[in-house]
Structure 1
Amino acid sequence: METPAPEAPVTQLLARARAGDAQAMSAAYAAVYEELKRTARLQLRRMRDDFQTTALVNEAYLKLGGAQLAANDRNHLLALSARAMRQVLVDDARMRKSDKRGNGQDALTLSAIDMDAGNRAAVDVLALDELLQSLHRADERAAQIVELRYFGGYEETEIAEMLGITDRTVRRDWRKARAFLLAEMGT
């Protein structure tokens, strides 16, 4: 795995972007671009979708508002990007679902509510989005952990660093979130 770029330069670039420097946001995004591509690649491999990695990263950037993005630091930028990737995939799933012809395609599914066990449940991306919205209402941090872990592909230690909490708290919230999601799915 590639070593992430130091946080300070990205944080400085984001501060310049918030101050009105139009090129700074592009430079900050470019600094984390390879990590975002890795995240997108993992997500798309899990989904077996025909979305291109670069297209997902670029669509997420556009979804974030590009130069108008007001991320505070590198971790915040990565978390916002993971959320934007989720939104892009949800929008794509909605578009596919609303397509009257269907083109004979199978439903877009995600596999990973039970990521720790070898058997991965297939979950429709729209259903997962609704479940995450319910979880967000019940426990915002747990929903953010699911989003970062599932859509961002981040490990527990990375999530703990991003959210400023301990690994143990991430594991506890992850277990709680999985239990909530499985209960909501009726499993």
Structure 2
Amino acid sequence: MNQEAPLTDLLRRSQQGDVLATERLMPLVYTRLHSFAGAMMSHERSGHTLSPTALLHESYLRLFGADITWEGRTHFFRVAASMMRRVLVDHAKARGRNKRGGGAERISLDDPQQGIQVGDGGSGANILELDEALSLLARQDARKASIVELIYFGGLTYEEAAAALDISPATLHRELRLAKAWLRSALATEKQP
């Protein structure tokens, strides 16, 4: 049996209220989700009030508190990446960061394999600016937005993201380059007076 089938079955059973399936599910996904959260948080400013474990737990609660029909393992991890992004954005908003930066962590689009990269404060975008630009991109091209989300927020490799979206790695690379160019343009336009 492939790796997808047991997880998909547990997701389906958990969604139907099977408590045992939910209990068996957590150990199967915890390590992977914790590594996603760790990759995201490792580049945050020192003293950040949200830890990787807290990010994971908040995301996990939201995942299983939502009414989602799980389509399988890849769908689960795509939604988890999106949920972690939402938790980070909600956390930034709750901390009262203003939209234009003012001390908020900076994010660079240069190295997706390292997750979200925080710059020195002088370049890049903060999480709120990136979220806004990514939401605009999603309205124009959902797949490109999903690619960015899976790689930057989900910590997936290029190959994993390509498999999750059922596209070739070459297509993923091409669309990621276009998405990054679009995001840089949108972020630069947003910063102009």
State if a TM-score over 0.5 links the two structures: yes
2:4 partner amino acid: E
Deviation at residue 156 of structure 1 after TM alignment: 0.7
Q: Secondary structure at the match of 2:43?
A: helix
Gaps of 5+ in 2: none
TM-score of the superposed pair, with normalisation by structure 2: 0.81
1:21 partner amino acid: D
Larger mean Cα displacement after TM superposition, 176-185 or 14-23: 14-23
How far apart, CA to CA, are the structure 2 residues paired with 1:61 and 1:69? 13
Which among 143, 146, 149 is matched to residue 147 of structure 1? 149
How far apart, CA to CA, are the structure 2 residues paired with 1:54 and 1:152? 15
Deviation at residue 108 of structure 1 after TM alignment: 3.1
Larger mean Cα displacement after TM superposition, 19-28 or 44-53: 19-28
How far apart, CA to CA, are the structure 2 residues paired with 1:93 and 1:70? 28
Q: Deviations over 1:80-112 (max 9, x none)?
A: 11111000000000011269xxxxxx7332423
> What's 1:179 paired with?
181
How far apart, CA to CA, are the structure 2 residues paired with 1:163 and 1:182? 23
How far apart, CA to CA, are the structure 1 residues paired with 2:3 and 2:152? 24
Q: Secondary structure at the match of 1:170?
A: helix
Larger mean Cα displacement after TM superposition, 57-66 or 22-31: 22-31
Which among 134, 137, 140 is matched to residue 139 of structure 2? 137
Q: 1:150/1:110 Cα in 2 relative to 1: closer, same or farther (>3 Å)? A: farther
Which among 96, 107, 110 is matched to residue 111 of structure 1? 107
> What's 2:89 paired with?
90
Asked if structure 1 preserves the Cα contact closer than 8 Å seen for 2:107 and 2:127, the reply is no
Q: Secondary structure at the match of 2:71?
A: coil
Larger mean Cα displacement after TM superposition, 59-68 or 120-129: 59-68
Equivalences for 1:13-28 in 2 at 5 Å?
Answer: 13-28=10-25
1:80 partner amino acid: V
Q: 1:27/1:67 Cα in 2 relative to 1: closer, same or farther (>3 Å)? A: farther
Gaps of 5+ in 1: 100-105
Q: Deviations over 1:27-63 (max 9, x none)?
A: 2233111011011101001223342111111100112
> What's 2:125 paired with?
123
TM-score of the superposed pair, with normalisation by structure 1: 0.84
CA-based RMSD of the aligned residues comes to 2.5
1:133 partner amino acid: S
Q: Secondary structure at the match of 1:123?
A: coil
1:83 partner amino acid: S
Deviation at residue 68 of structure 1 after TM alignment: 4.8
Q: 1:128/1:73 Cα in 2 relative to 1: closer, same or farther (>3 Å)? A: same
Number of residue pairs matched by the alignment? 176
